[in-house]
Amino acid sequence: MTKEKKNKLIDIALLVMMILPFVLCMVLKVLTTPASEGIAISGALIYFEIPMPLMPLYITEVQVTSLAVIISITALCLYLTHGIKVIPDSKRQLVAEYIVEKVNFLIKDNMGSRYMAFAPFIAAIMGISAFSSLSALLGLFPPTSDMNIVAGWGILVFIIITHYKLKGGLFPYVKGFFEPIPVFAPFNIIGEISTPVSMSFRHYGNVLSGVVISTLVGSALGGLSEMLLGWLPGFLGDIPFLRVGIPAVLSVYFDLFSGLMQAFIFAMLTMLYIATGFPEEEYEKRQAKKKKKALSAAQ
Amino acid sequence: MLELAIGIILAGCAIGAGLALIAGIGPGIGEGNAVSKACEAIGRQPESKGAVTSTMIMGCAIAETTGLYGLVVGILLIFVAPNSFVQILMNNLPK
Amino acid sequence: MQSLDIISVNIWNILISLANLLILFLVMKKFLFKPVMKIMNERQSQVTAIYADAENDRQAAADMKQEYETRMAAAREEADGLVRNAVQTAQRKSDAIVNEAKDQAAHLKQKAETEIQQEKKQMLDDVRTEISDLAVSIASRIMEREVNAQDHADFVDQFIQNVGDKQ
């Protein structure tokens, strides 16, 4: 009895931990957003800045929302796997198993079973990207419409890709830049660097275009409302009635569809880049050579 | 004289942003091609509708990237570049 | 309050987001994938064990069935033997009974035939006497005066004797 009660309490605490960060973010946003007239397309609000070498670190809405996303996903993971049993008796365990199975299947399908350790990473990319984009539905500034956030992910993915390419040895990696003829080296290098840039710009541009278009449509609807319904007496004339509901239609495409789609595409491209960049033949050759060396050293 | 300079900067930024959005033509044509081919494929093999649709959406989203480059550059030119260009002009004015 | 430019690059923010993704990776690994995979592996091993048990049970059942069938075949053989013996015994007995009955019947038949023969003879004699008497009385009635009774009786006797011999 007491154990059941305790489990229930933990569940409720986890659920609260899942929702509370976003609520706090919304409260903070409402309290700090300056009342402004007209169109304001700008980056995130800066709460305060910390002096650092090179350039100051700005703590903005984006950082706060990212933190909320991480806390929320952690709480969600804990909630899904809390009280997990061999014979499932709760829906959330089925959900957790469904997620894990789907991600594992995706990895096996696109990368091969050698890369099964990447499953949590891909799940993390999908989760953080989807949650960040969907936070726009709550009226928050979506972290994915900040260049820095997506650039960070892109750079991490680029580091992993390069690490896997270097597994075939440094020489084949460098040699790869001078193919098919040495003149192509600059283009190859640009192509290599463009991988993280294009990945992050794709994601960032999609979400940002949604934000920009939503803002433009919102302000246009406000102006239209003032023009059409401005004759209403008293404060009724000041309320932009046309802004109610209509921007939600755009939100379905730009926030829901585009956000989830970009999360999936980012994860997919990560998988494909890692799997195709890995030089299997060179790696096998190198492993065989190493084994031979170890054998001869042992003798 | 200063007004003229700033005006030229603003006009240049606006024209540049407009030109940058020409990049939207490419993905438009490309995605139209992709969707028409997908429609043909579905018409030929209606049972493979799910696979074709998901692949098409994936390909469309990737093809959209070039258009988004143009969009990002356009946004930069309209919202960010004028300020910084005017700043540069102000800093380099002969005292 | 100030806000960032819409496109701004800040190294520290990039590093923070990179670290965020790494942290989330570790969180996913530790809190979602590890327990779920553990549970799934456990379930897999349990299922394997259950299958092995079932296979063992099936094997045991098959063995039992084999034994049972062997035993059944033996029992059937035995029963067949018993039935055959019983049938033979019964056959023999019934043969004996039938033979006896046949003997008896033949005996009875013979006896009856003998009796019938005797009775027939008796009856013939009786009929002969009767007929001769009847004929004599009829003839005497018809020819009361012309033939005397002695002659007639002789004649009729002789005639019937002939008829009886012919028969």
At C87, is the pLDDT very low, low, confident or very high (cuts 50, 70, 90)? very high
For B82, half-sphere exposure in the C-beta direction (CA atoms, 13 angstrom radius) is 17
Q: Report the b/e string of A201-221 with b at 16+ CB within 10 A.
A: bbbbbbbbbbbbebeebbbeb
- Nearest Cβ partner for A208 among B61, B64, B75: B75
Contacts of A56 (CB under 8 A, 6+ apart): A49, A50
Place of tokens 């009955």: C101
As a whole number, mean pLDDT of residues B43-67 equals 85
How far apart are the CA of A144 and the nearest CA of chain B, in angstroms?
Answer: 14
CA distance B2 to chain A (A): 26
Measured in angstroms, the CA of C8 and the nearest CA of chain B are apart by: 9
Q: So where are chain B's domains? A: 2-91
CA torsion sign for A84, A85, A90, A94 is positive
Summarised one tens digit per residue, pLDDT across range C121-154 is: 999 988 888 888 888 888 777 776 555 667 777 7
Chains in contact with A, where contact requires at least 3 CB pairs less than 8 Å apart: B, C
Q: Which residues are CB-contacts of A169 (< 8 A; sequence separation ≥ 6)?
A: A282, A286
Contact C5 B75 (CB under 8 A): no
Whether the pLDDT of residue A40 is over 70: the answer is no
pLDDT at C66 over 90: yes
For residue A152, list chain C residues with Cβ-Cβ distance below 8 A: 13-18, 20-21
Helix residue spans in A135-238 (DSSP H): 147-166, 170-175, 185-229
User: Which range has highest mean pLDDT (A290-299, C4-13, C50-59)?
Assistant: C50-59
* pTM score: 0.74
pLDDT of A39: 62
C27 contacts A77? CB cut-off 8 A:
yes
- The residue behind tokens 């992993």 is A160
Nearest CA in chain C to B77: C7
Residue A225: predicted pLDDT: 82
- The CA R_g of chain B, rounded to the nearest whole Å, is 21
> Would the pLDDT of C103 be above 90?
yes
Amino acid A43: pLDDT:
74
Nearest to B83 by CA among B10, B25, B34, B1: B10
**Cα distance between residue A112 and residue A119, in whole Å:** 11
Element (H, E) at A60: strand A57-60
Q: What is the pLDDT of residue C83?
A: 94
Please give the pLDDT value at position C167.
Answer: 53
Chain B residue whose CA is closest to A258: B61
What phi and psi values does residue A44 have, to the nearest 5 degrees? Answer: -75, 155
Q: Shortest Cα distance from C19 to chain B (angstroms)?
A: 26
A130-149 burial: b if 16+ Cβ within 10 Å, else e: bbbbbbbeeebbbbbbbbbb
Q: Which of these, A27, A118, A119, A131, lies nearest to A69 by C-alpha position?
A: A131
Chain B residues near any Cβ of chain A (below 8 Å)? 57-58, 61-62, 64-65, 68-69, 71-72, 75, 79
Is domain B2-91 in CATH 1.10.3720.10, yes or no?
no
User: Cα–Cα–Cα angle for B7, B11, B15, nearest 5°?
Assistant: 175
CB A70 within 8 A of CB C27: yes
3-state secondary structure of A37: coil
Is the Cβ pair A265, B58 closer than 8 Å?
yes
pLDDT for res A243 = 77
- In which band, very low, low, confident or very high, does the pLDDT at B64 lie, cut at 50, 70 and 90? confident
Res A147: pLDDT: 87
- Output the average pLDDT for chain C: 87
Cα–Cα distance for residue pair B77/B83, rounded to 1 Å = 10
C5 to B79: CB separation less than 8 angstroms, yes or no: yes
pLDDT of residue A221: 85
In this complex, is the C-beta atom of A121 within 8 Å of any C-beta atom belonging to chain C? yes
Q: Do A120 and C12 touch (CB under 8 A)?
A: no
- On the question of pLDDT at C160 being above 90, the answer is no
Give residue C90's pLDDT band: very low, low, confident or very high (50, 70, 90): very high
The letter for the amino acid at C165 is D
C6 to B72: CB separation less than 8 angstroms, yes or no: no
Does the distance separating the beta carbons of C23 and A43 come in below 8 Å? Answer: no
Could you tell me the maximum CA-CA distance found in chain A, to the nearest angstrom? 98
**With an 8 Å Cβ cutoff, are B69 and A201 in contact?**
yes
Strands A46-50 and A57-60: antiparallel
Integer Cα distance of B17 and A34 in angstroms: 28
Percentage, residues of chain C above pLDDT 70? 92
Residue C99 has pLDDT above 70, yes or no: yes
Tell me the mean pLDDT in the region C26-55.
Answer: 92
**Could you give the CA distance from residue A125 to residue A119 in angstroms, rounded to a whole number?**
10
Rounded to the nearest integer, the mean pLDDT of chain B is: 88
Report chain C residues whose CB lies below 8 A from the CB of A119. 33
At A9-29, the pLDDT tens digits run 998 999 999 999 999 999 988
Q: What subunits touch chain C, counting only 3 or more CB pairs under 8 A?
A: A, B
CA distance B68 to chain A (A): 6
Residue C24 — pLDDT band, cuts 50, 70, 90?
A: very high
**pLDDT (mean) for A148-164:** 92
Residues forming a β-bridge with C3: A45
In angstroms, the separation between the Cα of residue A155 and the nearest Cα of chain C is 8
A269, closest residue in chain B (CA to CA): B62
| pLDDT given for residue C72 in this prediction | 94
What are the boundaries of each domain within chain A?
1-26+62-78, 108-289
Residue B89 burial class via C-beta count within 10 angstroms: exposed 0-12, middle 13-18, buried 19 and up? middle
Q: What is the pLDDT of residue C148?
A: 66
Quickly list H helices, A33-146. 61-81, 91-110, 119-134
* 3-state helix vs strand vs coil in chain A, percent to 5: 80, 5, 15
Q: Could you tell me the pLDDT band of residue C109, with boundaries at 50, 70 and 90?
A: very high
* Contact (CB<8Å) A46/C4: yes
Chain A and chain C share a number of CB contacts under 8 A equal to 145
CA B2/CA B92 separation, integer angstroms: 12
Report residue A92 as tokens.
Answer: 């959330």
Half-sphere exposure of B25 (CA within 13 A, CB side): 4
Tell me: pLDDT of A129 over 60.
Answer: yes
Q: What is the mean pLDDT of residues B21-42?
A: 92
The answer to whether the beta carbons of residues B66 and B26 sit under 8 Å apart is yes
pLDDT band for A277, please (50, 70, 90 cuts): confident
> Average model confidence (pLDDT) for chain A?
86
* Mutation choice for B interface testing from A145, A201, A266, A269 by most B CBs within 10 A: A201
pLDDT in tens, A100-124: 999 999 888 888 888 888 899 999 9
The pLDDT-based confidence of C25 (bands split at 50, 70, 90) is: very high
The model's pLDDT over A176-216, given as tens digits with 9 standing for 90+, comes to: 888 778 888 888 888 888 888 888 888 988 888 888 888 88
Asked if C4 is an interface residue toward chain B (Cβ–Cβ < 8 A), one would say no
Which residue type sits at A235? F
